Structure 1
Amino acid sequence: MRHLAASVAFSALLLACSAGPEEVKRAASGGAPVSAEFSRYWYAGQAELSRYQLQQNRYDDIHPGEAVLVFVTEDFLPTKQVKMEGGKTKETATSVLKMNQMRRFTTGIYDYSINTSVFTPVAANQFPHTFKVATSVQDWCGQTYTQLNLRRRKYHLAAHSYFQQEADQTDSLEAVTLEEELWTRLRLDPKTLPVGKLRIIPGTVAARLRHQPLRVETANAELKPYRGILFKPAQAGAALQAYTLAYSSTKRTLTIVFEQDFPYLIAGWEDTYDGQMRFGNQTYGSAKPLTTRAIRTSTLKSDYWQRHTRPDSVLRRQLGVTGFKE
Structure 2
Amino acid sequence: MNPFSSAQWHGLYAQHIVRDQARKVCPPPLCGQERPWVLLQEGRRGTWRAAANYYTSLVGPADDDPRLQADVQALLGWFDVRGESAEVAVLDLAPLALPVAQNLGTGLRQRGWYVRHRACFGNWYLLSDGRSFEDFMAQRPSQLQSTWRRKARRFQSGSRGAAIEIIVDPERVAAGMDAFEAIYAKSWKRPEPYPAFIRAWAHACAEQGWLRLGVAWVDSVPVAAQIWFTVAGKAHIFKLAYDEAYAQLSPGTVLSGYLFRQALDVDRVHEIDYLSGDDVYKRSWMSHRRERFRLLACDTRHPFGLARAAVERAREWRLMVKSAFGQ
Q: Give me the TM-score of the superposition, normalised by structure 1.
A: 0.24
The structure whose residues are more often strand, as a share, is: 1
Which is bigger in relative contact order (C-alpha 8 A, separation at least 6)?
Answer: 2
Q: Give me the TM-score of the superposition, normalised by structure 2.
A: 0.24
